[in-house]
Amino acid sequence: MSSRIALASCLAFLAIGCGGGSSNSNNTGTTTPSSTNAATVSIVGQRNDQSFSPNPAPIPNGSMVVWKNNDTVTHRIVLNDGSFDSGNLAPGASSAAMRLSNAGGNYHCSIHPTTMFGSINVATAMPDPGTGVAPYSR
């Protein structure tokens, strides 16, 4: 009986240690901790080009951007050129901030690559201080 208790305790300990928290250990781009001054792109679900808001994200070159998972499942944001990988983002988690250092680009969720994709378009206007996102114009 005591061996069953010991085994159950060991399994419970391992399950807690392998929890599904957010991890940014696989980031490959230039990142810093999440910042309130960064523009936020919301992850809203598996809806093709409507999976992210705003999409395209009008963010000025040199600005910081974070992705916030407002969905109920885990996502992983990867820039198509390989310059950024958010690591797994659990529901409610945000990525590390990434400084936009080029003309923008395309990204996708590597967990749901055929149903979740977006883009960052370099905006010429300065971002709104309240949201960190530049006004969008087509």
Segments of the chain scoring below 70 in pLDDT: 1-36, 123-138
Domain with 113 in it: 21-121
* Inside any domain, residue 92: yes
The pLDDT tens digits of the residues spanning 103-123 come to: 778 999 999 999 999 999 886
The pLDDT value given to residue 32: 43
The token pair that represents 43 in the structure block: 């992850």
* Inside any domain, residue 76: yes
* Inside any domain, residue 63: yes
The pLDDT value given to residue 131: 59
DSSP letter for 130, please. T
Q: How many domains does the chain have?
A: 1
Give me the CATH number covering residue 48. Answer: 2.60.40.420
